[in-house]
Amino acid sequence: MKGYLHLENGESFEGTFSPHGAKAVTNGEIVFYTGMTGYQEVLTDPSYKNQIIVFTYPLIGNYGINEFDFESKEPHVAGVIIYETKDAYSHYNAKFSLKQYLEKWNIPLLTHVDTRAVVKRIRTEGTMQAVISDSSFVEVPSLSESTNPVGEVTSKEWQTFGTGDTHIVLVDFGYKKSILQSLLANGCKVTVVPYTTSFEKIKEILPNGIVLSNGPGDPKELNDHLPNIKQLIEYYPTLAICLGHQLVALSLGGDTKKLKFGHRGANQPVADLFTNKVYITSQNHSYVVDEDSLKETGLQARFKNCNDNSIEGLSHTTLPILTVQFHPEAHPGPSESSWVFDEFIANNCTVRREKIYA
């Protein structure tokens, strides 16, 4: 059946609608992802909560959906827009087609859309609200003033994984499973806690370090939690990823701003200013740290994006803080920055273990 993508600017694009039990009208912020693969990880990444994803690669779904590469227990996207997908899939581990998986979770799929034209419009005018519908005319609602997508994806209770000597608290703003797996692979014991957990409660379990996870939305929506984050990062060695990176900057007096259309893909080049090496990274974010706001914070740029020179990570002049805007856990896409976990654990957590509780 015919379906339509309606943009906030008044434009509409026609395609083939596959609602498979989903709502006839679905709205969200429209963004695009440039990776050729990794669609399973994208769909289940909590950072995409309530967003409509346009995949730029023309054929999505050819290797199917397996039971191993989920980043969370369910998909978080509001809708999916691609040029073409097939019911058949080729990978030996696959259990479902892309269509079958979206149908299971009642997520609308719009195919045979001119995705190049849609992406060009987003690049020209920026991310905006959009609606997927079976109707040729739908009014696009404005973005709600008071949203808290982090509250929708965070853990509801504490969970502990692993038995390593280095105890890490993973503060959950919408963490990806592969972050947890990377910490466990480095021999850590990991306790996952909701983002609302207080400094005092975390201190009771005597961790050696803190990881602030990725997550969805505008970091300034979490301004009420900045004093607690500041206590944590000034007391414990800290690794912060994506949203966590932005929250570190805000908590120490920095500022963030929204990019026109964000960085979403598995091929973003990032330069390490300390080593002069360049890494190809996986990214998913709309907001960045404003470098001009860091002058009195003690923070300094450690990584920068080679395409637009935006900040991709920070270090602190006196505190054992390492932050990255990209995803070192590399799901989806390249694993060459996974050493970030090694540096954090070996240079920060292990060395300072005795100092924290001396």
Q: Which of 19, 6, 77 is nearest to 43 (CA)?
A: 77
User: Is residue 327 flagged as an active site residue?
Assistant: yes
How far apart are the C-alpha atoms of 219 and 216, rounded to whole Å?
8
CA distances from 25 to 29, 50, 92, 140, 299 (A): 14, 13, 35, 10, 44
Only one residue has tokens 């309606």, namely 6
Catalytic residue among 285, 329, 331, 349: 329
User: Is residue 242 flagged as an active site residue?
Assistant: yes
- Helical H segments across the chain, by residue range: 39-43, 98-104, 115-125, 149-153, 177-185, 199-204, 226-235, 243-251, 339-343, 351-356
Catalytic residue among 263, 327, 331, 349: 327
Strand partners, 129: 29
How far apart are the C-alpha atoms of 66 and 317, rounded to whole Å?
44
Strand ordering across the sheet containing 209-212: 159-161, 188-194, 166-172, 209-212, 238-241, 321-324, 311-316, 299-305, 256-272, 277-289
Catalytic residue among 6, 71, 188, 242: 242
| DSSP assignment letter at 142 | P
Number of neighbouring beta carbons within 10 Å of residue 97: 18
**Active-site residue list:** 242, 327, 329
